[in-house]
Structure 1
Amino acid sequence: MEAKRLTQLGIPAGVVLIIAMLVVPLPAVVLDMLIALNIVGAILVLMVAMLVHRPLDFNAFPAVILVMTLFRLALNISATRLVLLDGYAGKVIDTFGHFVVGGSLVVGLIVFAILLIIQFFVITKGAERVAEVGARFTLDAMPGKQMAIDADLNSGLIDEDQARIRRMEVHAEADFYGAMDGASKFVKGDAIAAIVITLVNLIGGFAVGMAQKGMSFGDAISTYSLLSVGDGLVSQIPALLLSVATGLIVTRSTSDADMGSDILRQVGRQRLPLQVAGFSALFICLIPGLPKLPFMIAGGIMLLASSRVPKPEVEPEQVLEGHAVEIPTDTPELLAAEIQVDPLGLELAPDIIDLVDAANGGDLLDRVKALRRKVAGDLGIIVPPVRTRDNLDLPARTYAIRLFGIEVARGEAPRGTVLAIGDTLGALPGESTTEPVFGLEARWIPAELRVQAELSGATVVDRASVITTHLAEVVASHAGRLLGREDVKTLTDLVQRQHPVVVEELTPAQLSLGEVQRVLQSLLDEQVSVRDLVRIYESLSLKAQVTKDPDALVEAARAALGPAIVAPHLSQGTVHVLSFDPMLEQRMLEAMRPGEQGPMIALDPLTGQTVLAELADLRTAAEERGIRPVLVCAPQLRSAVRRMVLPALPGTPVLSYTELGGAAQVTSVGLVSGERQAVSA
């Protein structure tokens, strides 16, 4: 606990001491120790930058640059104070001013200028540009990386924890390169400050030595100028090391090894470049006047290194009878992976990718995940992962929903807008449209007018909700197609864990998984939830002992689910029904004929058209009164009646009398007699 406390307080306390150094004079001995600490710290930072495997492993580097720069500037101020007051700033600066540059002011200024040029114009300038480009490209690539992570999550390649970690890494990478873009400005500013401080020290040294202390020009140069140059060199060496570390960090690509290992492995595994470099060095020896030994040694080292490079086990191309044989790219495995289609896909035009960019508030992917859970709870099926990707071929602001690779729905979601739904939209600016699910009149209005639209009585929906609702409607209407054999197996295994006897009696003893799948698909096609699989399987196991006719099995399952089927159609405990005249129903029973898709009602064309027209009129009249009726008939007729009604009146629920047991009250709102004149009367 104490060690953790010291770690938390160490850096803040150090920053406070650095700030104190700006105003508090330091003894020469203490200054020597701090200068040594500054140089060693810069070497440490450089080594860490070289040994990390990826830039994010040293994500504290921007803060380290700021602290080290502040520390170095504080040392400059302390050294300047000692030089101008005492003419002595410790052994380190004195040694750099006299021994390193030979006591020559001209040599010292030239060495200082060269170091400054290397740092400012070569390393710092390049690192600043790389950091700027890296920050921009990293931010631009964030939406694509987010989509790739969510696509892997939806496909099951990674789990939620792995996806969360990868998202954090993407955000951390963007934050890091953004911080590095700013930190490179500190390094650049430090180089400029070094020039100014050195010039101030030179001028101030002349002024103090000659004006205040009465020294001669030579003594002033010997005493103050050399110390000023020594101070500049002492500060520029760690500054140069930090500039190199900055360049290494921003140019470092992610790898499994440190930089030294990467360089040696990548350079040393190429035999031909080493051989060319070695022979080139030996060829240079032939030039008259050049020393032979250095180039011979360098060439020999290159040739020796090339001889130690192992031959690759597999060449990129194999030569056979003088012809290059490329590695095949059309293997059955690769082709099989390319031809596979996703059960459910969502494609976005490039200009609406912001919907999936979490950094900019896009939450479409999270809503799609929530939608999968909601559909699973409502319909009782496992919705396949929704593959979300961008599509350059889509028109601007458009999205498309695909089912097994085929587009089944399309809509628009203009950027910067919300969808206002209502009858009083004329005063609002925007583009008129139709709500994609219910076909209501709507208008895409600017997002900033949302409150105004709500106050006018309109229902306002954001773009992500529009797409999610549209996707939910597509999933619900095609739920039967989305239920695969593997999904049925998974659902059956789940039932077997809690009710093993039910499953053992049903499959495979009486019905195969394919036959069970067909029954479940038929239920889903009529928007019937299959959550209560136990009741469904029990009813199927009883009915399968008598017949395996698909329609009969479906009716048996529907009878078991009666209360659940009628529940969505209840209004305050009452279900409003349209029914057939008993005489007409008897005629329909007599007119039933077998068909490829199941029994059909073979009424004469005139009677059939009359029945459908009368039914449409009755349904319209009921809907005008705010009632959404269901059509009921005998169980033996139900499936055939649905096949007859579906093409002309899609969306009309068809129930049997046995399924009305869940309603507290049944109210008739119309009787279909099959006689047109009865309707007009």
Structure 2
Amino acid sequence: MAAKDLSILLGVILIIVMLIIPLPTGMIDFLIIVNISIALLIILVSMNTREPLQFSIFPTLLLLITLFRLGLNVSTTRAILGNQGDAGNVIETFGQFVVGGNALVGFVVFVILVVIQFVVITKGAERVSEVGARFTLDAMPGKQMSIDADLNAGMISDSEARERRKKIEQEADFYGSMDGASKFVKGDAIAGIIIVLINIIFGLVIGMVQEGLDLSSAAGKYTLLTVGDGLVSQIPALLISTATGIVVTRAASEGNLGHDVTKQLLAYPNMLFVAGGTIAMLGFFTPINAFVTTTVALVLGVGGFLLIQKEKKQHVFEEEASDTEDREEDIKSPESVVSLLQVDPVEFEFGYGLIPLADANQGGDLLDRVVMIRRQLAIELGMIVPVIRIRDNIQLQPNEYSIKIKGNEVAKGELLLDHFMAMSPGVDDENITGIDTVEPAFGLPALWISEEVKDQAELAGYTVVDPPSVVSTHLTEVIKRHAHELIGRQETKQLIDHLNESYPTLVEDVTPNPLSVGEIQKVLSQLLKEKVSIRNLPIIFETLADYGQMSKDTDLLTEYVRQALSRQITKQYAVPGEPLYAVTVSGAVEKAVADAIQQTDHGNYLNLDPNTMQSIIESAMREMERMQEMGQMPLILCSPAVRMYVRHIIERYVPQVPVLSYNELEPTIEVQSVGVVNIS
């Protein structure tokens, strides 16, 4: 255990000892001085912190120092009443020297200190702690939403967002703790009064009964000692109470308390002349000593003059600096166009009529939905979706929105914010009327219906969704469809670095040798292009480590990876307990494709006769349509050797249709062929 940790534990044990075992007067003197030193240190630290969280241990420290002071009070009381008034040098000095040996004066000073601490400082600090705790807790949701908005807008990174959220939580915990800890200060003040009264009363009793002193002698002896004890206890308590008030009233700033006070209090130099003139008039028109008022007035006047001169110099310096910056900007202006070349990976633009979607003040939750979309896609696809830029665009129609990928529009739609989108279950209900439209994500026919018709449509079996859900679904599907475009080398490097934290040996076996980041990126991109999640990076890298030494053909490596992900792909397309319905590729087609594969130094490519290719495409599309009519999801199944080439043939015409090989399915899956792709 560290020496610092041990010292704190010993301190707590010492407090317990003070409560139980009588201490020698020398030890009491030492602990009293330690108490005063700690109080001074705490108030100095509180004055030099820039924000409350820099002194986050203060609530706990407040409890410990209060307990220490009460334990010390017990020890001093035991010494005063049990040692015939021998309570040590420090208490006697405060009783004799500080208050001039006058017990009544000392008692008055003690009462004033208690009143100041209890009525003014402690009560104020307690109230500020209570209000600060309540306001901090009330403001937490708004602050969290502000962080999410900044994160979605790209103004801060994920790590900065986490840091700001953590700070908000710590602030709430701190003010909540201070609200409770301030009660200790209040209780300590009350305990101080009670202890002094007990010492005086029982001191008189002990002096008169046990020591045989008369009332005057007993009062003089024990009252002085009690007042001395009260002063050495209440002065540190007053410092701690003041520190409590400083901490809970401290707002975050750029400097410490001294810096802020001088900067803000002297921010208006002309006011020093007004204050100085007022003080001077007091000396001329009242019996107050004119020397005193004139001296103070001169100090204020000179201070105001010096501050005004400093402001003038600062103003000239700022003007020169501004001119210099303007000249530098003029010189550099031809290069300023570089900032205009930035292209955002994903952009969502909307017309001014859709502003309520993104405006939290109007109930819009689009920013929160975008956060959820990024989390959902991270889980489904295994990639980090870039920050989605959300902005309004006056060039769009009021109710229109546009989705761009790398600066190019890839989808658009139109919303009616005061309506709901209703999609038919297959059998239309004539009583459900609305504005004809098309569901943007999947291209299904739909209606915009009013809120009055919503319940009726739901009872009729229609799928009814609100406009924010429509646009969220559309945005999600667009990102899924273009995920392979969003994963570049930089994003791939981030995934590799993340994997390296858990599997460093595996990463070393794959990159930089035998495969570069660019080659790994091509494999991941091809997987995402065919909607295969790359979340299971360890299996992907295991496969690349096994086959990367034999070939650098990214198409071939992708096929090996797909086969390694057979369990994942099977689960993606097959329903447990049911056969997998698919259209198979005939042997003639596979032979024609295999014979047309040309091998070059830069990889393999398909050199198939155009007529044969057209025949294969037409046959595949007929079979796909037939599967759809049967209510089955279109799927093509072929041998591993030709899978990627069959995919290349049909993807231009039916890109949404998955093409699987037999090696990508688990052996336990029952496959039922519902059609065959042939050469007509």
Q: Same fold (TM over 0.5)?
A: yes
Query: What SS does structure 1 have at the residue aligned with 2:29?
Result: helix
* Contact in 2 for aligned 1:42/1:238 (Cα 8 Å): yes
SS in 1 for 2:674: strand
Determine which of 336, 342, 347 is the counterpart of 1:343: 347
Indicate conservation of the 8 Å contact 2:358/2:364, yes or no.
no
Query: 1:131 aligns to what?
Result: 129
Contact 1:619/1:628, CA 8 A, preserved across alignment:
yes
What are the equivalent positions in structure 2 for 1:180-191 lying under 5 Å apart?
180-191=178-189
Aligned to 1:538: none
Establish whether residue 55 from structure 1 lines up as the match of residue 55 from structure 2.
Answer: no
Q: CA deviation at 1:192?
A: 0.6
Q: Secondary structure at the match of 1:311?
A: helix
Partner amino acid, structure 2, of 1:669: V
1:11–1:355 CA distance, 2 compared to 1 (3 A): farther
The within-5 A match list for 1:493-504 is: none
1:619 to 628, 651, 655: 628
Q: 1:68 matched to which residue of 2?
A: 65
Does 566-575 or 366-375 show the bigger shift? Answer: 566-575
1:627-638 to structure 2, matched below 5 A, reads: none
Kept after mapping to 1: 8 A contact 2:583/2:673: yes
State the distance in 1 between where 2:366 and 2:233 align.
50
Which amino acid counterpart does residue 577 of structure 1 have in structure 2?
V
Matched, 1:26 2:35: no
Correspondence list, 1:113-124, <5 A: 113-124=111-122
CA drift of 1:251 comes to 1.6
1:90-125 Cα deviation digits (max 9, x unpaired): 232223223333333332222111111110111111
Of residues 132-141 and 10-19 in structure 1, the stretch that sits farther from structure 2 once superposed is 132-141
Question: Taking structure 1 as reference, are residues 403 and 94 closer, same or farther at Cα in structure 2, changes over 3 Å only?
Answer: farther
2:46 and 2:243 in contact (8 A); partners too: yes
* 1:105-148 Cα deviation digits (max 9, x unpaired): 33222211111111011111111122222223333334444455
2:278 to 273, 277, 280: 280
Q: 1:40 aligns with which of 29, 37, 56?
A: 37
Counterpart-to-counterpart distance in 2, 1:205 and 1:297: 49
* Match in the other structure for 2:311: 311
CA 1:200–1:667: 2 relative to 1, 3 Å: closer
* Post-superposition offset of 1:157: 5.4
CA offsets, 1:151-184, max 9 Å, x none? 5556665555555544443333333222222221
**In structure 1, distance between residues paired with 2:631 and 2:486:** 40
- Asked if 2 retains the 8 angstrom alpha-carbon contact of 1:476 and 1:527, the reply is no
Aligned match of 2:377 in 365, 371, 379? 371
The residue that corresponds to 2:460 in the other structure is none
Q: Does residue 301 of the first structure (1) align with residue 305 of the second (2)? A: no
Residues of 2 paired with 1:269 and 1:62: CA distance? 33
TM-score between the two structures when normalised by the length of structure 2:
0.58
The alignment status of 1:669 with 2:677, answered yes or no, reads: no
Aligned-partner SS, 1:239:
helix
Select the residue among 83, 87, 90 that pairs with 1:89.
87
Deviation at 1:80, TM superposition (A): 1.5
Alignment partner, residue 193 of structure 1: 191
Instruction: Name 1:258's counterpart in structure 2.
Output: 256
Taking structure 1 as reference, are residues 177 and 341 closer, same or farther at Cα in structure 2, changes over 3 Å only?
Answer: farther
Give the distance between the partners of 2:412 and 2:86, measured in 1 at CA.
Answer: 82
Residue 224 (structure 1) shift: 1.5
SS of the residue corresponding to residue 88 of structure 1 reads: coil
State the Cα deviation string for residues 599-625 of structure 1 (Å, max 9, x = none): xxxxxxxxxxxxx999878535344xx
Asked whether the 8 Å contact 1:21–1:74 carries over to 2, the reply is yes
CA–CA distance in structure 2, aligned partners of residues 92 and 498 of structure 1 = 76
What is the root-mean-square deviation in Å for CA atoms of aligned residues? 6.1
C-alpha spacing 1:131/1:347, structure 2 compared with 1 (3 Å): same
**Within-5 A mapping of 1:467-506:** 474-480=475-481
* Counterpart residue type for residue 377 of structure 2: L
- Distance in 2, matches of 1:16 and 1:197, equals 23
Could you say what secondary structure the match of 1:141 adopts? Answer: helix
- Partner residue of 1:15 out of 12, 32, 35: 12
Partner of 2:386: 384
Which of 245, 248, 266 is the aligned partner of 1:247?
245
Does the CA contact (< 8 Å) of 2:489 and 2:517 recur in 1? no
Q: CA deviation at 1:186?
A: 0.9
Call closer, same or farther: CA 1:167–1:5 in 2, change over 3 Å. Answer: same
The structure-2 alpha-carbon separation of the partners of 1:88 and 1:153, relative to structure 1 and needing over 3 Å to count, comes to: same
Judged with a 3 Å threshold, the aligned counterparts in structure 2 of structure 1 residues 349 and 501 are, in CA distance, closer, same or farther, namely closer
Query: SS at the partner of 1:577?
Result: strand
Structure 2: how far apart are the matches of 1:122 and 1:617? 86
Distance 1:5 1:491 in 2: 43
Contact 2:635 2:659 in 1 (8 A): no
Structure 2 CA distance for partners of 1:500 and 1:107, relative to 1, 3 Å: closer
Q: Is the Cα–Cα contact under 8 Å of residues 80 and 222 in structure 2 kept in the other structure?
A: yes
Is the Cα–Cα contact under 8 Å of residues 563 and 661 in structure 1 kept in the other structure?
A: no
Secondary structure of 1:254's partner?
Answer: coil
Instruction: Give the secondary structure class of the aligned counterpart of 2:284.
Output: coil
Q: Deviations over 1:305-342 (max 9, x none)?
A: 11222226569xx9xxxxxxxxxxxxx99xx9xxx997
The separation in 2 between residues aligned to 1:488 and 1:127, in whole angstroms, is 56
What is the aligned partner in structure 1 of residue 595 from structure 2? Answer: none
Report the CA distance between 1:491 and its aligned residue: 8.1
Partners of 1:499 and 1:81 in 2: CA distance: 81
Query: CA 1:641–1:199 in 2, change beyond 3 Å: closer, same or farther?
Result: same
Letter in 2 for 1:306: G
2:583 alignment counterpart: 577
Q: Is the 8 A contact 1:562 1:661 kept in 2?
A: no
TM-score by length of 1: 0.58
Which secondary structure state, in structure 2, belongs to the residue aligned with residue 343 of structure 1?
A: strand
Tell whether the 8 Å contact from 1:622 to 1:628 is kept in structure 2 after alignment.
Answer: no
The percentage of aligned residue pairs carrying the same residue is: 39
Any conservation in 2 of the 1:142–1:170 contact (CA below 8 Å)? yes
Shift of the alpha carbon at 1:488?
9.3
Which structure 1 residue ranges, 5 or more long, are not aligned?
319-331, 358-362, 390-399, 411-435, 439-466, 505-516, 533-556, 580-611, 673-681
Residues 1:482 and 1:18: Cα distance change in structure 2 (over 3 Å): same
Does the 8 Å contact 1:480/1:521 carry over to 2?
no
Change (3 A) 1:9 1:364: farther
Answer whether contact 2:122 2:186 (CA < 8 A) is retained: yes
Distance 2:269 2:143 in 1: 37
Q: Does 1:292 align with 2:290?
A: yes
How many residues in Structure 1 have an aligned counterpart in Structure 2?
512
CA separation of 1:87 and 1:525: change in aligned 2, threshold 3 A? closer
Contact 2:103 2:224 (8 Å CA) reproduced: yes
SS for the counterpart of 1:214 is: coil
Q: Is the 8 A contact 1:347 1:401 kept in 2?
A: no
